[in-house]
Amino acid sequence: MKTFSSRSDVPRIVDVARAARVSITTASRVLNGVTTYPVAAATRERVLAAARSLNYSPSALARALVTKRSRIVGVLVGDIVDPYFAEIVRGVEAVARQAEYLVIVCNTERDPALERRAVAALRDYSADAILFAGGDFGDEEAGRLLQAELEPVLARGGIALALAGDRPGLPAIDIDHTAAAAELTRYLIGLGHQRIAFIGGPPQVSTARARLAGFLAAMAEAGLPANWILDGGYSFSGGLAAGTSLAGTVEAIVAANDQMALGALAALRTAGLRVPADVSLASFGGTSAAAQAVPALTTLVIPREQIGAVAMQAVLGALAPQPVVIASQLLPYTIVVRESTAPRLPEDAR
């Protein structure tokens, strides 16, 4: 077994330097492709050859320690199982990969304490940016505690961003949830439905409140009563329960996310109702699960992958030598009509 510099079993830059018979500095310069510094072509070649033959790869830890940049970005997600978040992460990763950033996904289980721990861990590892996917939850006290953990990251020049959901004080990359929910509701109204229910998310979550507001606005605007507002907790089971209690009383349902819509769908079917013949069902999100349901769900598609990508781009800009200040931005959404919604049929045609 080869041995390297004193204490390590893996090649270090000093090994490369030695093998190439240059100083560590020169090796570092070549390896980092520093263009502002002149290095003789022959020297450069020797260093590169040495690095390759030793299979050298620099320690990101040591580098981070001196450069003050870890090239780590953390993404906090409320529920790792929910494809909603997975696609945001995907967008972040795609951009991060190109920029040689390491993405750390932290699952908070929508628990403020866990979220705090995650932020603390990212802070300890000197993450350059923290992206909060999926908006605020927890009370004010939790918000303050979180802020305290986050503060050192910002103090070091780190970035914090809100993705697809509000975070007080942070720039947001998002869609207009209220407008979007209103538009989805209007679509159902345009189909002729009048008795429309809304299955919402947890009221502590900002997106849940925004979507509800949009629904209410659209109903009011059409002069329709909003008599069926339920809390489905953003979960399948919550949607199931809501759907069960709604069965037979409404003509259409807007669910504030796909998971709840799936739950409602299961409930309706169990109750012997046909979708969309008896009840139209539309949801918010646009995850693959919505497309895979039977019938496939009409949903408002949030450009989650794009949100992730745009956010990561913004992070890179803000971390660049000439920092670009990050401004909140609203991205466009689209309604995809599938099989779960249909025009209202006259009573006798059903």
Partner DNA sequence: ATGAAAGCGCTAACAT
Partner DNA sequence: ATGTTAGCGCTTTCAT
Rounded to the nearest whole angstrom, what is the least distance from the CB of residue 313 to DNA in the complex?
Answer: 23
CA distance 337 to 350: 22
Is 132 a residue that touches its own copies (CB under 8 A)?
Answer: no
| Residue 11 or 171 having the CB closest to DNA | 11
Q: How far is CA 192 from CA 30, 187, 188, 251, in A?
A: 69, 9, 7, 9
Cα angle: 340, vertex 301, 298; to 5 degrees: 5
Rounded to the nearest whole angstrom, what is the least distance from the CB of residue 278 to its own copies in the complex?
Answer: 16
Binding residue for its own copies, selected from 34, 60, 220, 330, defined by CB under 8 A: 60
CA distance 75 to 57: 26
Nearest residue to 22 (alpha-carbon basis) of 47, 39, 4: 47
Residues of span 309-328 touching its own copies by CB under 8 A? none
Is 124 a residue that touches its own copies (CB under 8 A)?
Answer: yes
Nearest residue to 238 (alpha-carbon basis) of 203, 263, 208: 263
Residue keyed to tokens 């009573």:
347
Nearest residue to 184 (alpha-carbon basis) of 341, 335, 339: 335
Residues of span 207-266 touching its own copies by CB under 8 A? 236, 262-263, 265-266
Residues of span 84-103 touching its own copies by CB under 8 A? 86-87, 89-90, 93, 97, 102
256 binds, among its own copies, DNA, none (CB under 5 to 8 A by kind): none
31 binds, among its own copies, DNA, none (CB under 5 to 8 A by kind): DNA
Rounded to the nearest whole angstrom, what is the least distance from the CB of residue 145 to its own copies in the complex?
Answer: 12
DSSP letter string, 34-71: -SSS---HHHHHHHHHHHHHHT----HHHHHHHHS---
Burial of 9 (0-12, 13-18, 19+ CB in 10 A): exposed
Rounded to the nearest whole angstrom, what is the least distance from the CB of residue 168 to its own copies in the complex?
Answer: 21
Q: How far is CA 211 from CA 165, 236, 296, 300, in A?
A: 11, 18, 22, 11
Binding region for DNA (CB under 7 A): 5-8, 12-14, 21-26, 28-29, 31-32, 34, 37-40, 42-43, 58-59, 62-63, 65-67
DSSP state of 326: P
Is 334 a residue that touches its own copies (CB under 8 A)?
Answer: no
Rounded to the nearest whole angstrom, what is the least distance from the CB of residue 100 to DNA in the complex?
Answer: 12
User: Do β-strands 298-301 and 334-336 pair in parallel, antiparallel, or remain unpaired?
Assistant: antiparallel
123 binds, among its own copies, DNA, none (CB under 5 to 8 A by kind): its own copies
Stretch of 62-70, 169-177, 219-227, 320-328 contacting its own copies, by CB under 8 A: 62-70
249 binds, among DNA, its own copies, none (CB under 5 to 8 A by kind): none
Cα angle: 162, vertex 232, 265; to 5 degrees: 115
Q: Where on the chain is the footprint of its own copies (CB under 8 A)?
A: 8-10, 55, 57-62, 64-65, 70, 72, 80-81, 83, 86-87, 89-90, 93, 97, 102, 104-105, 107, 117, 120-121, 123-126, 148, 152, 155-157, 236, 262-263, 265-266, 269-270, 288, 292-294
